[in-house]
Amino acid sequence: MSLILTFLGKDGIARSKVAIAAAKLLASQGKRVLLAGLAEPVLPILLEQTLSADPQVIAPNLHAVQLLASVLLERNWEEVKKLEAQYLRTPIFKEVYGQELVALPGMDSALALNAIREYDASGKYDAIIYDGTGDSLTVRLLGLPESLSWYVRRFRQLFANSDLGKTLTESPLIQPLITSFFNVNWTSDNFAQPTNQANDFLDKGKAALADPNRVAAFLVTTNDPIEVAVARYLWGSSQQVGLTVGGVVQIAHQEATNLANEFSPLAVSVVPNVAQGDWQPLIDALPNFVEQARQAPKPIEIDVHNRQVRLFLPGFDKKQVKLTQVGPEVTIEAGDQRRNLFLPPALTGRTVTGAKFQTNYLIISF
């Protein structure tokens, strides 16, 4: 398993420089590192070499790859066709070829996340540095396992309890018809199997996201008030998806203003704005990413004994945070992020008895 690091902030060039320097730093420490970027010219220009859709060696212990949506879509389409053939007697997609598919809006993020997952599972890398968009899209990308698990969990139960679900899984009149189309008997157990596999897959993603030794983000900003505000917003949004933000990397274009109060209790590391190719001063100024991520506040803490949940929501004030309980789970809204809390059995189904917003924490009592 790899350590997955990404960087969030408004200035894309600065983020990419920090990502490259971080990759070089970890590689110099003997770690096997993969630097993964999007299909844009920034990384190739900064690295001064051409990149491709497959990892290539660019320095000792350091590989780099561009996550090309068209290539990833083509490769994943073959897996979709194999899955379809596993369940359908007469596959529908066998005459549709990956080479002709066009990536639709939103596909890039899902394909990038799956590619990172596959590189992580390969066991070839100790660290993966993801140089993504660095904005709310990257935050939503890393929060996909938790978001999708809610959809699977919620709609699976609704379908199973519906008349249509009961008819498909229980009716002896429907079974022969279904069997003629599918390679499996469509019983309740067989219906549950694919969703159980999906849940297991998503649970592994959630577990990785919840572990700062596995996945962490760092904020990149300058003294500019707008950049600082964006970084604070992304900090709070990251907590909403369960992503640990380990610290702040402040680019010093001129004399650095102390940003400690803006991002307390995170550590702020001031680094020079280096020229292209002159990486060593930046590398030398970088923090210990692993240690800072471990010491950062946890996005969520659940105290079963005292029946409390504490959510760390920096960057938002009381008026921007909304708590509702209209379904079987508690829903938190902050900024443009919404999170459904998956609570342990001891708290599941309990009614919220109180809530307060105090020193960047939303404290919920049951």
Is 83 inside any structural domain? no
Residue 235 has a CB neighbour count (10 Å cut-off) of: 25
Domain that holds residue 275: 3-72+100-146+207-295
Is 240 inside any structural domain? yes
Residues 273, 322, single domain; the answer is no
> Rounded to an integer, what distance in angstroms lies between the CA atom of residue 323 and that of residue 332?
5
Is 86 inside any structural domain? no
Is 95 inside any structural domain? no
Q: What is the dihedral of CA 168, 170, 173, 177, to 10 degrees?
A: 40
Is 94 inside any structural domain? no
Is 87 inside any structural domain? no
Residues 172, 251, single domain; the answer is no
Of 13-17, 55-59, 111-115, the least confident? 111-115
Owner of token pair 């600082």: 228
pLDDT tens track for 229-283: 999 999 999 999 999 999 999 998 766 678 989 999 999 999 998 887 789 999 9
| Average of per-residue pLDDT values in the chain | 85
| Structural domain count, the chain | 3
Tell me the three state secondary structure of residue 30: coil
Residues 256, 162, single domain; the answer is no
User: What pTM was estimated for this model as a whole?
Assistant: 0.85
Residues 135, 55, single domain; the answer is yes
Residues 162, 40, single domain; the answer is no
Residue 301 and residue 310 in contact, taking contact as beta carbons nearer than 8 Å: yes
> Rounded to an integer, what distance in angstroms lies between the CA atom of residue 249 and that of residue 257?
13
pLDDT tens track for 15-52: 999 999 999 999 999 999 999 999 889 999 999 999 99
Is 57 inside any structural domain? yes
> Rounded to an integer, what distance in angstroms lies between the CA atom of residue 298 and that of residue 243?
9
Residues 142, 152, single domain; the answer is no
Residues 15, 128, single domain; the answer is yes
Residue 71 has pLDDT above 60, yes or no: yes
What is the per-residue DSSP string for 270-311? EEE-PPTT--HHHHHH---HHHHHHHSPPSEEEETTTTEEEE
Of 263, 279, 295, the last residue of a domain is: 295
H/E stretch holding 240 reads: helix 225-240
Residues 344, 215, single domain; the answer is no
Residue 125 and residue 32 in contact, taking contact as beta carbons nearer than 8 Å: yes
Of 193, 222, 250, the last residue of a domain is: 193
